[in-house]
Structure 1
């Protein structure tokens, strides 16, 4: 593929990359680190006062770092990784926090990382490689969050908060971006008070387009393009100081070609009368040439609609909050990793959720308390088309009761205790035209999640904390074998943390160390009985293993003087199975004890930004960001032994982004930014799949090449 070149931009940003000191994301360009307000514990608090490992940053910081997609959050957050699924590509995401991987794609099982947007839960990892816009802040909570966020947050939770209406003035902005591969993005946001200081609305639309940077080896067709439509509206009604309602609604449509798959080896199935190719080695030297076998043009499509309402009522010294949400999503992609079969994978689902919580303070504000309940119901179908039929339908229904309370023992010492009881019902039905086994099955699960923590503030600028927490991921009915039911998996996590603002708030250092005991791990494994019955190995879901996870993370932000900020983030996770007896494709038992659980061990980022006035009303900013992530092992040692060296993992990679921006305060505000991503033009893989079937299969998903662009934002 030929890269679009903008010579002036290219020269400017290479000079920036060479001349700018690089260090971490999210430090503001001020003489002091500013206060960041988060809702990590469902109440507004200063980030530095929260005894939880939280990475938080604003939408402005996100954009200045040259980032635009939900998946890019991982590039600012230690021990957090977002990768495309090995068989479906970027339509479905795989999230990992501290060795806890989001898990299975299907509706019959749940993710290990919770996601919420404006307090509304997002239970499925579809459309996470898509663009964010008009964002207020992003919060990533690490470690089990089972008390306040519920089941399936054994790894952590991600909160995205969009900007809401302002009730005092009309404002907004328009933005246009042009860049490599004919990138043409546009955003328009308008904030309109309808009743002064009482009622307002915020409307936004975003359109993204970028030609594909890849091509199909067999067909020459374009791959890896970007085409999205995003519409959002937010209504805020605040008739008094004691009552408010905010309603958010959005629609998101994605219609793109697939990710670029490259096969590192060929694999064939010998039927006796014919040999069918399962994978064909990609020999084209162009790194951005990938698999494209079908007569039908490759596609990845999704659309989703979300609506949620948050109501707050002050009752004396207490606050009553109601969060109601509904989400409908549809997705479908044409799998291009195997030439022998025509396969489309996707999912349709409807989710309704309701949360009620009452919170307040007592005993001269020494006690901060919360109690509440949660209910959700989700229905849908998992699509696995081989010849045009759907395989399974699922229904998930659950409720929980919870409480979390913090008591100030002294002015410096605080104790927190939380408890949540969850009850879950699941039902899975086979809706294939020809049913070969059980028609349907159902199961019920319940569990307790809890948290106990102690935090100590020797000074107003320093916080030490210690915590122990238990979270769980719900049990499941095996989609491929409905007779199989697996129990919940549990994580018991121990953590020590430090948060400090030093040297008159010019240095911010947050760090934590953690140790997790992970039991009853749900894993798919080969069923040896199926080989003798059918001759073809099949997989079964089961509680297969136990593991230990430990590691640390740190974030440093330094603002030595006006305009200059830099720092660093680092994360290390050691996740290994303690006990895991499995089977290979031939039915032989293998011992996978002590092998890596999954996810990279090391991850770090560096960033530096310098702002200075070029006139009384104009500021010039120069920024560079570097992100590095370690090797991700894809397969067990028995599979890796079949493959060639390097085919069983995704290699480590590092990416450099840069930006030069001019901000003019006059005329309602004008910002012009010239930016580059993957400035060093690194060729790298972002995901893959490795299997021991048919002599070994190893496919990889290609990451984005070097790109340049200019972005103009005009406020009003």
Structure 2
């Protein structure tokens, strides 16, 4: 993949440099702020059709290509710094699997391929249904749309928190593109080349390549694999065929190969049950705060490698006028794969305490068909959706119980088949002078999931046979699935067939769920640039199987779908002089069968159980103001009150008042600005963003070791932009800084009981970049 990426980069760079030298006719991309930058109409596709942002009865944040470039957004992980009311963390042990939380809704547990996420991620309408490997580099982004609140009707299951749409630029058929090079601290070298080729008949082609190499942030004294190393290569080919004026076929292929090590993972505390014989060895590596650059010494050669590929075919046919109105028929067919190989050292010490391999393989096929119609007073969307995916996981772990020569293995897999049909009808009555929109929607979803697990636990339990419960999975020397029917004798040691006497039985199951989700919303426009809306929406996150379970009972206790009912009101305002904009929303959401992840420290896994009920109430605000030409100030923030109202554990213990909603800070805000000053035919553009989040819990239990303190980060950039090189070529030179305050905060962590570990976020980094547009 690396050689192929270099070849693509060389070909694209050669084509671009030749074109610049010859000064061929091109249409340059421009990221200059429009005259009405604050109040300009922004067109989004949040409801599967193009609409003005102000007409959408959803809390939506839209970031243009210019805003993304200015903020340095390349992957989903980067978006948190410029989007309010959203959190994007990393999974413990790797930096390529984002944990996305919106309106307090975060994944119930780890990023297991068997579990669904509460926030949907879409690339040009194709669902990226698993977060594992989802932080791939997206070449040629046109804009990002963040939809907050449940999107159950048009987007389906697993969007109860919201959805993120990544929308790429279509081929134009006119020659143009850009070359971007950036170099920063820690030997961070990024490059991106994008070329729009001249049309060949009715075929348009766009090619893109990106690379991202980075040295480690923290030196690992035990190995040469420093923490924070990265080597990322991505490529994209986009072909648009338009044989007639009313039909188009667009095929896109993307591939992203990511290799590296996670950001630094270090022990933050050791528990009372930690072996006394090891305390002296481990204590120098316990860091309640962020460790220094040379203080961590991980025993194993940690690494995290991912490869993600995607194929998407989108057919669009403007049928034209009919008895059902003006019709458009659309089909989106996609296949995506993900392969990951990682080795993690959980303790960050030269003592071999907690080490494991996690190998994932995933494949999905999706097909969606949409019929969009519009008439004098009505607009409607009808659709059908089908998906089928499968996964397998190989997860051996060493020395977890600290007893020496310890080992366990989880070998699991499964899949999901989902079928859905949906519709939405919007009425714009003429008697209201088209100031009123009333919409109703309905979606039916049917899910079927399957899973298997083989769990082997050997001498880790030999020192304490009573810890081995009846029904613990294992696999014998021939690979046959086995499970215990009783307790082993005291002092039993594992033999070729596993721990003691076992009964041979296969361990797998499948379960099905179905759900109907209605929606109702209303929009009233006081004037074209000022609207109020109200929304009633429902959604659900699919049920599932605890495929990482350690006992038959847990494996054979599937968790039910999480159901949501949400009420929301809001207003969207743009001043007549288009210098001020304001989006304000308030919501109240009730969750039934809330899926809560209960961590099992001795097995480093999380089991999902259903809490009776949880309620989320919040207020969100986004606004911008342009006090004078050239300056734009953006603000955003939110308040969230999230709590369980009914939560009883299977044991009968009522934890309603003690258990916490994780990754749900009560307050968050963002303030930023852009100032642009003309300098001859060029311009100086300075921008900065300050993002802050209040204290939050990292886990469901009220654990002080899993309490993330309030923190804020500052990013800034200054550029000399639109430097004319030729009639059709411009350049930009910029300096940038991220986390300029060098805030020490951790973005993921786990308390294993005997010890707690934290994965720390990136420290301050600065650099410069050059961009050429042609």
TM-score (norm 1): 0.88
Contact 1:464 1:499 in 2 (8 A): yes
Deviates more, 1:95-104 or 1:451-460: 95-104
- Please name the residue that 1:610 is paired with: 675
Structure 1: stretches of 5+ with no match in the other structure: 1-25, 641-646
Contact 1:495 1:515 (8 Å CA) reproduced: yes
Q: 1:426 to 1:119 in 2, by over 3 A?
A: same
Partners of 1:177 and 1:537 lie apart in 2 by 39
Q: 2:199 aligns with which of 194, 206, 209?
A: 194
**Counterpart for residue 382 of structure 1:** 393
Alignment of 1:649-664 (within 5 A): 649-663=707-721, 664=723
Aligned to 2:732: 671
State the distance in 1 between where 2:603 and 2:50 align: 55
Q: 1:430 aligns with which of 426, 446, 453?
A: 453
Query: How far 1:367 sits from its partner (Å)?
Result: 0.5
Would the aligned equivalents of 2:436 and 2:523 in 1 still touch at CA under 8 Å? yes
Q: Deviations over 1:447-495 (max 9, x none)?
A: 0112100110011111100011000001101111321111101110100
1:62 alignment partner, SS class: helix
Equivalent residue for 1:554, pick from 621, 635, 639: 621
Helix, strand or coil for the counterpart of 1:294? coil
Q: 2:428 — aligned with what?
A: 408
Equivalence for 1:369 = 380
**Equivalent residue for 1:570?**
637
Q: List aligned pairs for 1:96-111, cutoff 5 A.
A: 96-104=101-109, 105-111=111-117
Q: Indicate whether 1:632 and 2:696 are aligned.
A: yes
1:560-586 Cα offsets, whole Å, 9 max, x none, are 333211121112221111122238xxx
Q: Is the 8 A contact 2:342 2:359 kept in 1?
A: yes
Change (3 A) 1:57 1:524: closer
Counterpart in the other structure of 2:76 = 70
Partner in structure 2 of residue 138 of structure 1: 144
Aligned counterparts of 2:122 and 2:88: Cα–Cα separation in 1: 16
Secondary structure of the corresponding residue to residue 556 of structure 2: coil
- SS of residue in 2 equivalent to 1:147: coil
Q: Find the counterpart in structure 2 of residue 118 from structure 1.
A: 124
Specify which of 556, 577, 581 is matched with residue 648 of structure 2. Answer: 581
Q: Report which of the two has the higher share of strand.
A: 1
Partner of 2:100: 95
CA contact (8 A) 1:247 1:308 kept: yes
Deviation per CA, 1:484-508, whole angstroms, max 9, x where unpaired? 1111011101000101111321111
Partner residue of 2:520 out of 452, 456, 459? 452
Within the candidate set 559, 571, 581, 1:508 is matched to: 581
Tell me the equivalent position of 2:741: 680
Give the gaps of 5 or more residues in structure 2: 1-30, 321-325, 398-406, 456-474, 484-505
Over 3 Å counting, the alpha-carbon distance change for 1:285 and 1:354 in structure 2 is closer
1:484 aligns to 2:484 (yes or no): no
Per chain length, whose mean CA-contact separation is higher, i.e. which structure has more relative contact order (CA < 8 Å, sep 6+)? 1
Q: What is the CA distance between 1:119 and its match in structure 2?
A: 0.8
Deviations 1:514-553 (A, max 9, x none): 00001101223379xxx9xxx9998643213411001011
- Counterpart residue number, 2:750: 689
Distance in 1 between residues matched to 2:306 and 2:290, nearest whole Å: 32
| Aligned 8 A contact 2:658 2:702 in 1 | no
Write the distance in 2 (CA, Å) between the matches of 1:636 and 1:388. Answer: 26
Deviations 1:291-329 (A, max 9, x none): 54334x110110010010111101121000000011000
Distance (Å, rounded) in 2 between the aligned partners of 1:545 and 1:478:
18
Instruction: Please state whether the residue corresponding to 2:243 is helix, strand or coil.
Output: strand
State how far apart, in whole Å, the 2-side matches of 1:553 and 1:244 are: 39
CA positional deviation for 1:82: 0.6
Q: Is the 8 A contact 1:29 1:565 kept in 2?
A: no
- Check conservation: 2:268, 2:289, Cα contact below 8 A: no
Residues 477 and 637 of structure 1, relative CA distance in 2, 3 Å threshold: closer
Q: Structure 1's 285 and 358: CA in aligned 2 closer, same or farther, altered over 3 A?
A: closer
Which runs of structure 2 are paired with 1:220-619 in the superposition (5 Å)?
221-267=225-271, 281-282=286-287, 286-288=291-293, 292-295=297-300, 297-316=301-320, 317-338=326-347, 339-362=352-375, 364=376, 366-386=377-397, 391-409=411-429, 410=432, 411-431=434-454, 433-434=475-476, 435-437=481-483, 439-479=507-547, 480=549, 481-525=554-598, 540-582=607-649, 589=653, 591-593=655-657, 595-599=659-663, 600-615=665-680, 617-619=681-683
* 1:109 aligned counterpart, secondary structure: coil
Q: Distance in 1 between matches of 2:172 and 2:605?
A: 56
Distance 1:335 1:269 in 2: 23
1:210 maps to which residue?
Answer: 214
1:210 deviation in Å?
1.2
RMSD after superposition: 2.7
What secondary structure is seen at the aligned counterpart in 2 of 1:216?
coil
- CA shift, 1:283, in A, is 8.0
Larger Rg: 2
Cα 1:539–1:125 change in 2 (3 A) is closer
Report deviation, 1:687. 2.3
**TM-score, with normalisation over the residues of structure 2?**
0.81
Q: Is the 8 A contact 1:258 1:333 kept in 2?
A: no
2-structure distance, mates of 1:71, 1:181: 19
Matching of residues 161-200 of structure 1 within 5 Å: 161-167=167-173, 169-196=174-201, 198-200=202-204
What is the rounded CA distance, in whole Å, between the counterparts of 2:75 and 2:366 in structure 1? 25
Separation in 1, partners of 2:290, 2:248:
59
Q: CA deviation at 1:638?
A: 5.4
Distance 1:273 1:565 in 2: 60
The Cα shift of 1:203 comes to 0.4
